Amino acid sequence: MEEQNRRDFIKYAAGGVIGLGIGGVGYLSASSTNSELQSNIATLETKVKDLDSWILYGGGSNVKYMPNVTTREADIPMTEVFYFDQNKAICRVDNNREAFIMPTYAMGEVEIEKNSFFMLMEANELSVTKIIESTKSEDLANTCILKGNTNGNCFTEAEAGGHIYGSRTKPEPFTSEIVAVDGKSFAFTAFFKEDEAPINYAIFGPKFTFTGELKTGTVNVKRIDEIILSLVNASI
């Protein structure tokens, strides 16, 4: 009887130790998860606070040169008007005053008739994915990279061979990435899917970057204190 009681006690004690061990592991696991969560929250708060210290916006026009229909030299100006801030971006081509050659993704070189090309890209719900702060080197400038969290709208219309392709009123979807370099450049990259955006995919392919030489306007990727300091210095 005493031997049986001793065995029962050992089983009970062992079970209690195992239970405490499992409970302890569970507690440590929950504690570790909570600690990791708190660390992630702190990191996000730091990033948000740092982002609030930046001025990110710009607008103006880029110019690129397309091949002419006679010699195929790239001398036909194409003006792209743009605007961006932390939340949205647009890029627009209003018209082409002269015919030009469009090197397309799926149709080869296509002659676009004059006064027929139109394009408007709208990207909403952007988020900043990276800010690269430059040194004082003259060759470097602050760079901001933004990505679209949802599909944007792309309206593209062009006339070639007497046929009108695309539409100014019916958009096709795309995803986006924006690269803005302080005082230097603005680049709008669009990603198209063939099944969702057949016209733009045929013209531009799965990925195309709209950019050019910055002719008018400005691109701002600056810390607020930098702008304040420049204003103070300008007033002295």
pLDDT tens, 71-97? Answer: 999 999 999 999 999 999 999 999 999
Place of tokens 């400038």: 141
Residues 158 and 200: their CA atoms lie apart, in Å, by 11
Residues 232 and 236: their CA atoms lie apart, in Å, by 7
Which tokens belong to 61?
């026009």
Residue 63 DSSP SS3: strand
Residue 197 DSSP SS3: coil
| Amino acid identity at 91 | C
pLDDT of residue 225: 84
pLDDT of residue 53: 81
Task: Report, in angstroms and rounded to the nearest whole number, the Rg of the chain calculated over CA atoms.
Answer: 29
Using a 10 angstrom Cβ sphere, with 0-12 exposed, 13-18 middle and 19 or more buried, the burial of residue 110 is middle
Residue 7 has pLDDT above 50, yes or no: no
pTM for this entry: 0.77
Q: Which of 25-29, 35-39, 54-58, 63-67 has the lowest mean pLDDT?
A: 25-29
Residue 211 has pLDDT above 70, yes or no: yes
Residues 102 and 68: their CA atoms lie apart, in Å, by 9
Confidence of residue 28 (pLDDT cuts 50, 70, 90): low
- Return the closest-CA partner of residue 93 out of 219, 200, 180: 200
